Structure 1
Amino acid sequence: MQHVPSGGFSRRALLRAGGGLAAVTLGSVLGARPAYAEVPDSPRFDLGGAGGNPVWKKSLHANWVMQSFAYDNVHQHIYFAQVNSQNTDPAHAGDLWITKTDTAGRQLGAMTLHNFGHGVSIAVEPYNGSVYLWTEWKSGDSGFGTKIGRFAFKDGAVLEKTSAAVQDRTPSIGDELINPQPAIDPSTGRLLVRYKTGTDLPRIVAFDLEDARAGRLLSEHRLAERALPSRGAWGTDNPFQGFTAYGRYVYLLEGRVNGPSYITVADLNGAGQSVVIDRAQTSAGESLPGREPQGMAVWMHASGPRLAFGFHSNTGGVRQASVFYKSEFV
C-alpha cells in the first residue's frame, strides 16, 4: 500500500483560521503564579521540517479508536491506548485496550484496562527490567480519568480500576486537577501532567521522573508549572487531541475528524500570559478516511529525536492507526 508523505504545513492557512500567532495567548495564570524553575534550554522542532511515516493504517488489538501512543525508547516499541467510543454502558465507561507494537506498528501484545479513562495521553517508562505505563485512571461519569495511575505492562492482563497493581501517581499541588493526563519527556527524564483547573483553563506541571516514580508529587517537588493556551473558539473548532514535551517546549495536537489538523508549540519557561511560539497546519495523512489526529510522543531514534504525532482512520468500519514524525529543528 502506498504511503502518504508526511506533508507540509501552511502558515497562511493558520493565519486565516487562527487570526495570527500573536493573538493566541497562554491562559489565565490563576493569580500570576510564576514557573517554579527554569526548564533548561533545548532546540525546538521545525513543524515544517522533513519527516516520515513509519506506521501506516495498522490495525491494533481491538477494533477501537486509537487515542494516544508513546514510545519505549529503550526497546524501541510503541504502546497505543484505544477506547471503545461506541460503548455507552456506564459499567464500561473508560475501558481501554493497550496495544504493544514494534516501531512499524506490528502487534506484539495487549492488555485491558477497565474504567480507567479516555486514553487522551499515555506515558511509557522502562524501569528495572519491566515497562511501566502511566495513564488516566479511575474514570468519572464523563469517561475521562480523574487520577493518574502507574502500572506494569503485562501481555494478556486485565486490570480493574481497583487493582492493587495500580500505583496512584496523581500530583497534589493545591489545584483541583480536572482530567489529568501524563506524558514523559525522555530527553530530560521528566513527567509532565496536563490538567485543567476549570473551563478552558488548561495547565501543565513537570516533575523529575525519579520523584514521580516514588510518589513525590507535592508542590515542593514540581520543577515547573505553566498555563497552556486557552482554547476559546479555537478549541471548539479544533479539539485538543494530545501533547508531548521535548526540553523547554510543549507540543499540542489539535483538530477534528475530516478537518484540518494543527501542531501548536508553547514554552514551559516564563510566567504570566505569553504568546504561542508556533502553530502550523499539517497535511500528514490527509488521504486517510475518517482522519482524526490522535496522540503525540517523542521518539528517541538512533538518528536523533523525533516529534511523533498520530491519526486514527476508519476504512469501512475497520479502525486503524498511523504515525508520522518531524525530525528537524528550527
Structure 2
Amino acid sequence: MNEALSRRALLRAGGGLSLAALGLGYGAGTVSAAVPTSKRFQLGGQASHDLYRNRELYNGTVMQSFAFDRTNQRLFTAQLREGSPGTSGDLCVTELAWSTWTAIGHMYLTGFGHAVSIGAQSVGTSTYLWTDVDADAAGYGRRPARFKYSDGTTLTASSPAVTTYTPKPSADRHTCATDPTHHRMIVRYLPAGSGIHRFAPYDLTAATNGDFGQPPADFRQPDRITYLDPDDTTVRNSFQGYTAYGQYLYCLTGHSDTDDATLWSVDMNTGAVMEEFLTGAGSTLTFREPEGMAVHTTAGGEPRLFFGFASGSTPGERLANVFYKNVLV
C-alpha cells in the first residue's frame, strides 16, 4: 500500500486500520535504563467496546481526561471549568458512579492547569487525584499536584491540601498519569526551550513521597505522535491524552469533527512506536473529539485500555463517552 495514502482514506476503507500491521517503521527515542517487560494492548485487528456513551458531567464543557479508582469503585473526569477563561487553569472534576457511570459529585480546582491527563490513587477508602497545577499564561500546569478528592469543595493551587512536586526542575510543564496495575506514575514534561515533550515513568509510592530519582526510562515523544503526517512535519498533531500499562505507553491524538482519532503504543524501553491505529470507535457521535486515556484491571482480572471522546452538537452541553480495548499480545 502507498505510504502516502491518507489516514482518512484508510479509515473509510477499513473502519480503522493499524499502520504497524502495514510494516511502517518509526524512529526511536532515547531511554536510560529498563522498564520490566509486559504484554501490550493490541490496538488494531479487534473491536473496541463501549463503557458508556453520552453521559452528562457536572459542567457542560469538553471532558479533557479521566482516571479510575477501582479499589474504591470511582471514576473521575476533568474538564475546564464552566464560565472560566480557557487560559485560567480552572478545572472541574466530576465523580461518576461505578457501573451506572452517572455524575454523583464534583469539586473545583482554581488555577491548576489544562488536565491533558490525570491520575487516581486509592489510599484506604479515599481517592487522591494527580493533576497539573500552577497554570502558565496558556493555562497549562507547570508542575504535578496531588490532593484528596472531596465532593463539593474548591481548592486553589496554593491550598495546604495540595501537595506539589517538581520531577524535572528545568521543565516548563508537567502532567501525569497512573498505571494502578503496576503501581507506576508516568510524567510527561516539556524541557525548557525544547518544544518537544518527554516521558518518564516512576514508582507511584516513591513519587508520592517526592522521590523522582533516576527513572527506568526517559524518552522523547516520538515524532510520529508529535506530527500529523510523515510528509508534512510543519503540521502539529493534536495530543489528547496518555496512559501506561507495564512496559508500554499509550497515547491518543486527533481533532473534533474529523475522522483522525488515533491510538498509539510506545515501548518505553526503546521510545519506539509499536502500533498506530486509526480508530472508528464512536464514529456516529456528533462533534467526536478524542479526549483522555486510562487503564485498570477489572475485579475479574482483565486489563483494559480506555480512551474517551467528547460529543454533543452544542457548545456548553458536551457529553462524555468512553471506549476500551481488552486484548493483550
Structure 1, 259-268 or 195-204: larger mean CA deviation: 195-204
Query: 1:84-110 CA deviation, whole Å, 9 max, x = no partner?
Result: 4874386xx011000010244211210
Query: 1:251-309 CA deviation, whole Å, 9 max, x = no partner?
Result: 00000111210001110113xxx541110100111111111000000022134010000
1:179-328 paired onto structure 2 within 5 Å: 179-197=173-191, 198-217=193-212, 219-220=213-214, 222-230=215-223, 231-234=226-229, 236=235, 238-259=237-258, 260-270=260-270, 275-303=272-300, 304-317=302-315, 318-328=317-327
Deviation at 1:177, TM superposition (A): 1.9
Instruction: Report whether the alignment pairs 1:169 with 2:165.
Output: yes
Change beyond 3 A, Cα 1:13–1:278: closer
5+ long unaligned stretches in structure 1: 1-6
Q: CA RMSD in A?
A: 2.3
Structure 1, 239-248 or 51-60: larger mean CA deviation: 51-60
Letter in 2 for 1:125: Q
**What is the DSSP-based 3-state SS (H/G/I as helix, E as strand, rest coil) of the residue aligned with 2:138?**
coil
Deviation at 1:148, TM superposition (A): 0.6
**What is the DSSP-based 3-state SS (H/G/I as helix, E as strand, rest coil) of the residue aligned with 2:273?**
coil
Change beyond 3 A, Cα 1:89–1:205: closer
Structure 1, 320-329 or 224-233: larger mean CA deviation: 224-233
Change beyond 3 A, Cα 1:8–1:125: farther
Letter in 2 for 1:95: D
Letter in 2 for 1:244: T
Q: For 1:256 and 1:89, how far apart are their aligned partners in 2?
A: 17
**What is the DSSP-based 3-state SS (H/G/I as helix, E as strand, rest coil) of the residue aligned with 1:196?**
strand
Give the TM-score, by structure 2 length.
0.86
5+ long unaligned stretches in structure 2: 1-13
Match 1:25 to one of 18, 24, 27:
27
**What is the DSSP-based 3-state SS (H/G/I as helix, E as strand, rest coil) of the residue aligned with 1:68?**
strand
Structure 1, 41-50 or 107-116: larger mean CA deviation: 41-50
Deviation at 1:129, TM superposition (A): 2.9
Give the TM-score, by structure 1 length.
0.86
1:23-102 paired onto structure 2 within 5 Å: 24-27=26-29, 29=30, 34-35=31-32, 37-48=33-44, 49-84=46-81, 87-88=84-85, 93-102=88-97
Change beyond 3 A, Cα 1:44–1:26: same
Q: Are 1:21 and 1:275, in contact at CA under 8 Å, matched by a contact in 2?
A: no
The equivalent residue for 1:139 is 135
Structure 1, 130-139 or 200-209: larger mean CA deviation: 200-209
Instruction: Report whether the alignment pairs 1:11 with 2:9.
Output: no
Q: For 1:71 and 1:269, how far apart are their aligned partners in 2?
A: 26
Q: Are 1:73 and 1:299, in contact at CA under 8 Å, matched by a contact in 2?
A: yes
Letter in 2 for 1:11: S
Q: For 2:137 and 2:158, how far apart are their aligned partners in 1?
A: 16
Q: Are 2:84 and 2:90, in contact at CA under 8 Å, matched by a contact in 1?
A: no
Q: For 1:62 and 1:243, how far apart are their aligned partners in 2?
A: 23
Q: For 2:50 and 2:149, how far apart are their aligned partners in 1?
A: 26
Deviation at 1:76, TM superposition (A): 2.3
Q: Are 1:61 and 1:110, in contact at CA under 8 Å, matched by a contact in 2?
A: yes
Moved over 6 A (4+): 12-15
Deviation at 1:228, TM superposition (A): 2.1
Q: For 2:219 and 2:209, how far apart are their aligned partners in 1?
A: 23
Change beyond 3 A, Cα 1:77–1:284: same
Letter in 2 for 1:315: S
Letter in 1 for 2:96: T
Letter in 1 for 2:24: L
Change beyond 3 A, Cα 1:245–1:256: same
